[in-house]
């Protein structure tokens, strides 16, 4: 798989108005650039994002074996409000969710299947056992977990090999990975898929104020984008921009190159629905940072200096089990 993936969530929800045609063109351009790792989930638009990716995959039937499709299950939504009401990682739901994802994606198998979150009331052994049965049936090729503790990861890996753990990881969010999950993954030979590698757009340096976020943008509800924290965090991004200018790249490329420099087992999946941003992201894979430049970028945004939590309080309750 490519060193950079493409997060597809924003093509359907969260960051402004969806644009099907531009999203399809962006997926085409990603494949042309050699980015063959696509990340989606059944929770993104309650299946809408899988369907969007599925429409693209149907145009790429001949290249299917060259494309790595990752999706996730486990978040149940209220039919009216669309908000997450339950994390269901029970064995029966694993099977039900997988078959629904296969149908929406229009594929015979899923390359990487994650438990999106974990319900601590359901033993991880039950969840992974049901996921392993999908591998045996040929519906899934590799298993992953998202936002879990090292203890849970070890228990899961004892049931069936876990290939990837998806965690939020960026210059803005380091402690959650670097504290212990990265060491555990490296001990067990598991890749870390870094979602939100650009701090949900903050690290791109393209935001000047909260007014740049339209009224439907989910980030308006997130602590790091609040009135209280936004301008403080923007100051950190300006420092990042200064270091990036010295390197000769954009803040976006510097942030992604920093992640790639953390190890070949780190796979960032920056999300976008626009070709121009995709091309900027892809160019980061060609940047080779010196040890001094890596240190400068690390120092530009000290982990403890970022203001605000990475999730709203209710969503935090579903993390790290």
Torsion of CA 139, 69, 171, 203, to 10 degrees: -140
Q: How far apart are the first and last CA of the chain?
A: 28
**What six digits make up the tokens of 291?**
């040890």
- The answer to whether residue 15 is catalytic is no
**What six digits make up the tokens of 233?**
């965090």
- How far is Cα 77 from Cα 188, in angstroms, rounded to an integer? 33
Of these residues, 15, 44, 114, 277, which one is catalytic? 44
pTM of the predicted model over 0.85: yes
- How confident is the model at residue 269, as a pLDDT? 98
- How confident is the model at residue 17, as a pLDDT? 75
* 19 vs 95, residue with greater confidence: 95
Specify whether the CB–CB gap between 269 and 39 falls below 8 A: yes
**What six digits make up the tokens of 98?**
């997988």
**What six digits make up the tokens of 285?**
């894979």
- Residue whose pair of structure tokens reads 């990881």 in the numeric block: 169
- How far is Cα 251 from Cα 177, in angstroms, rounded to an integer? 22
Q: Which strands make up the sheet holding 191-195, listed edge to edge?
A: 6-7, 37-39, 68-73, 110-115, 140-146, 164-168, 191-195, 266-268
Tell me the pairing of strands 84-87 and 75-77. Answer: antiparallel
Question: Given a cut of 80, is residue 82 above it in pLDDT?
Answer: no
- How confident is the model at residue 85, as a pLDDT? 77
**DSSP E strands: which ranges in the chain?**
6-7, 37-39, 68-73, 75-77, 84-87, 110-115, 140-146, 164-168, 191-195, 266-268
- Residue whose pair of structure tokens reads 């067990």 in the numeric block: 188
Spell out a b/e string for 48-69, using b for 16 or more CB atoms within 10 Å of the CB, else e: bbbebbbbbbeeeeeeeeebbb
**DSSP E strands: which ranges in 169-307?**
191-195, 266-268
- pLDDT classification of 81: cutoffs 50, 70, 90: low
Q: At what angle do helices 91-105 and 124-137 cross, to 10 degrees?
A: 40
Question: Given a cut of 80, is residue 15 above it in pLDDT?
Answer: no
Question: Given a cut of 70, is residue 223 above it in pLDDT?
Answer: yes
Does domain 6-201+262-287 sit in CATH 2.60.40.1930? no
Q: What is the mean pLDDT of the chain?
A: 94
The predicted model gives 109-117 an average pLDDT of 97
């Amino acid at each position: 798989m490519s060193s950079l993936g493409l997060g597809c969530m924003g093509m359907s929800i969260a960051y402004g108005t969806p644009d099907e045609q531009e999203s399809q063109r962006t997926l085409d351009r990603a494949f042309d650039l050699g980015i063959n790792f696509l990340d989606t989930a059944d929770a993104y638009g309650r299946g809408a994002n899988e369907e969007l990716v599925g429409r693209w995959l149907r145009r790429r039937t001949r290249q299917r074996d060259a494309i790595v499709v990752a999706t996730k299950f486990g978040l149940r939504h209220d039919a009216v409000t669309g908000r997450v009401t339950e994390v269901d990682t029970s064995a029966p739901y694993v099977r039900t969710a997988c078959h629904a994802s296969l149908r929406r994606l229009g594929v015979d198998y899923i390359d990487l299947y994650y438990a999106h979150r974990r319900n601590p009331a359901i033993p991880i052994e039950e969840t992974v056992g049901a996921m392993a049965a999908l591998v045996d049936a040929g519906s899934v090729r590799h298993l992953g977990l998202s936002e879990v503790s090292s203890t849970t990861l070890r228990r899961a890996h004892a049931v069936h090999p876990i290939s990837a753990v998806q965690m939020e990881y960026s210059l803005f969010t380091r402690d959650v990975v670097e504290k212990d999950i990265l060491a555990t993954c490296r001990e067990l030979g598991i890749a870390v898929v870094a979602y939100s590698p650009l701090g949900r757009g903050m690290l791109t340096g393209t935001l000047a104020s909260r007014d740049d976020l339209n009224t439907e943008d989910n980030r308006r509800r997130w602590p790091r984008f609040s009135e209280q924290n936004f301008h403080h965090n923007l100051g950190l991004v300006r420092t990042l921009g200064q270091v990036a200018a010295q390197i000769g790249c954009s803040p976006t490329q510097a942030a992604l190159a920093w992640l790639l420099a953390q190890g070949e087992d780190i796979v960032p999946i920056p999300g976008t629905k626009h070709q121009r941003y995709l091309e900027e992201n892809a160019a980061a894979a060609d940047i080779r940072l010196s040890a001094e430049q890596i240190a400068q970028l690390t120092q530009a945004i000290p982990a403890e200096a970022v203001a605000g939590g990475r999730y709203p309080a209710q969503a935090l309750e579903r993390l790290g089990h």
